[in-house]
Amino acid sequence: MVNNQEKKNQYLALAAISSIWTLLLSTIVSMGGAGSLLQAAYASSSTTTYTVVSGDTLYKIGLRFGVPWQDIAQANDIQSPYLIYVGDVLVIPLNDASDDTTAIATGNPMYDQFDSYIKSSSRNYGISDQMLVKAMISQESYFDPRAVSPDSPCGVPPGWTDAQSKSFGLMQFTPACAEPQAGPPNLTTDTTSPYWSSSWFNPQYNIDRGVQALSRELSYVKSNFYGCSDEQYLLMAVATYNSGPGAVYGCGSWNERADTHINHVLSQYKTYAEMAGAPYPYAGY
């Protein structure tokens, strides 16, 4: 049997729950709905805001801030098909992972200027060793966003010029090899152009596409060669990124061209790891 004191305690508990729900519902209504409440919750953590301008997409805004676009969508309760409109004020969540560049920071502004893009793209595409991406950039372009290769590695696709068939930017991505069917590449250097966000000379875009390509190479070697270590798989992906899939023979085994390239990349890696006080996991290569 429930005594009077127990009844009183139950009543008080129910009343407290009712009060909480009433407060919550009134807050949601006063703030314009659940989406606004979600924005408020994010605003209490480390965030900034951004006003949408013409040509923006969640993907482009994510690249700008080094934050996965899915996080921005969630923070603002934006559902599929993920439409945004000029004038929208978005909450941009700056979580610890997006702000933390210390693991690859060398203390040299030239070497560290693209760290936030490296870390964001590496997280997005599942590349565990961000210092390796930094070393690749150093070897490919020595941190020059306007770098252009002297050769056209895959020849000149129909409708392209030789100048359009080079390798471009920080990661020396070659559109003529990767996507000749897409047509000549966007090579604008005008940072005020509406096309700047997808220019191969845009550091954010170049790193993002380069790391995406590295991730595809990593998937390729993992699906074709079994039983390799994590370090071997990453270096094999570096080999195929530079020299093509035929360059890799097996776990830690690749052709002479790939070997030369990997040695150069690892030399850069070791230098930056020492500067950053970071470990060097490739001592056996």
Nearest to 200 by CA among 238, 156, 163: 163
What are the pLDDT tens digits along the chain (285 aa)? 444 445 444 444 444 444 444 444 444 444 444 445 445 544 445 788 889 999 888 877 876 676 777 889 889 999 988 899 999 999 988 755 444 444 799 999 999 999 999 999 998 899 989 999 999 999 999 999 999 999 999 999 999 999 999 999 999 999 999 999 999 999 999 999 999 999 999 999 999 999 999 999 999 999 999 999 999 999 999 999 999 999 999 999 999 999 999 999 999 999 999 999 988 999 988
- Distance from the Cα of residue 200 to its chain's centroid: 16
Question: Can you give the residue ranges of every domain in the chain?
Answer: 46-98, 109-276
CATH of range 46-98; options 3.10.350.10, 2.60.40.2580, 3.65.10.10, 1.10.1740.10: 3.10.350.10
Amino acid, res. 260: T
Structure token pair of residue 139: 């070897």
CATH number corresponding to 109-276: 1.10.530.10
pTM summary value: 0.69
